Amino acid sequence: MTKTLVSFTLDNLGDAADLYRGNIVAPRPKGANYALETGVPALLEMYARHRIPLTYFVEGWSADHYPDLVRDFASRGIHIGMHGWQHEIWHLLDDAEAEELLLRAHKSLTATLGQAPTTFRAPGGKTTAHTQKVLAQLGYRVDASYQDSAQPSRAAGELVNVPYQWQGVDATHWLWHKRSPAEALAQWRQAIEQSVLAATPLVFIFHSHVMGMQNERIAAGNDLIETVLADERLQVVPLTAIRETIA
């Protein structure tokens, strides 16, 4: 029996998005950045406890401002992807601005990690054709942005779409629809059944400021992971492994 592939990912690190949106005017001081200092460790502990292979999509700005932290993630075996420069609404950027920010973020992450990233996810959801052209030129192999179809597909050059659906995103349930942890868990279990039926991979996206700040939400995430691991129809894999299903 061919198993349904499941991958777990994290998006957004630190103050990049809040600075871009104007929610704050300067990075939060040490001791006041609860998502970074409390949420991130809580989620990483949860994944590590279950030995989940993890991809963390980090903004270029965050690579510049938290380089030791990003390098620590990589040293733990976490795959680091690029998530724009400062969590822009990516599909609303014009081509020139998107290209400039891609190159800036790529340079920052390469300098921080000592090697070039090869995985990208558009902040805000959707990628663009020009973005994919530039990513292919830079040697990226995975664009993990939103697509209407959950089925992986070839993009440009060696670049492959490994998409997600909104049902797998924590913010969908807790920020947009104001669901309880139990309701979110029910939605995730429904997504599992839909993916098995459609024979498509399933990608989950969590955020430290959404998922990692409340014990009830962390417990729901833990229950989800245990559900996935106990289901013989499913196989947890790194996000990059889903790319390899494309002939």
- Tokens, residue 32: 């006041």
DSSP state of 92: G
Helix residue spans in the chain (DSSP H): 16-21, 34, 40-49, 60-65, 67-75, 95-113, 129-138, 170-171, 181-198, 208-211, 215-230, 239-243
155-164: per-residue pLDDT in tens? 999 999 999 9
- Asked if the model's pLDDT at residue 1 lies above 80, the reply is no
- Tokens 């499941």, residue located: 6
98-127: per-residue pLDDT in tens? 999 999 999 999 999 999 999 999 999 899
| Per-residue pLDDT band at 247 (split at 50, 70, 90) | low
CA distances in angstroms from 222 to 59, 65, 181, 201, 229, listed in the order given: 26, 30, 11, 20, 11
Instruction: For residue 114, give the 3-state DSSP assignment.
Output: coil
Q: pTM here? A: 0.97
